[in-house]
Amino acid sequence: MKHAGSETLDQLAELLAELRQIPALTGRKAGIFYRRSGAFLHFHEDPDGPYADVRLRDDEDFVRFRVKTMAEKKNLVREVWANMGS
């Protein structure tokens, strides 16, 4: 699965704007977010739709979330917020 290009990131503009509102996240590149000093969230393109890879815990691998529908996008944001304290 390849990293999301500018067209896919444009389609996710509202989601990206919502993620930018989370104080613990910083965006150094388009569609890539960091938490503290580590990579936290980035996006991929797939024929099935866009996906977000998120490192919910510092000591774990990335967890993949499809973010094609509004419900999937809301779920991603909910999961990110739920894990900001860990």
Do residues 67 and 76 lie in contact, with contact meaning Cβ atoms separated by under 8 Å? yes
Residue-wise pLDDT tens digits, 70-81: 999 999 999 999
pLDDT at 1: 75
Q: What is the mean pLDDT of residues 9-36?
A: 93
Mean residue pLDDT across the chain: 92
pLDDT at 45: 94
DSSP string over 29-72: ETTEEEETTEEEEEEEE-TT--EEEE--STTS--EEEE-SSHHH
Domain ranges of the chain: 2-82
Place 37 in a pLDDT band, splitting at 50, 70 and 90: confident
Q: How far apart are alpha carbons 42 and 20 in whole angstroms?
A: 13
pLDDT at 86: 57
Do residues 29 and 17 lie in contact, with contact meaning Cβ atoms separated by under 8 Å? no
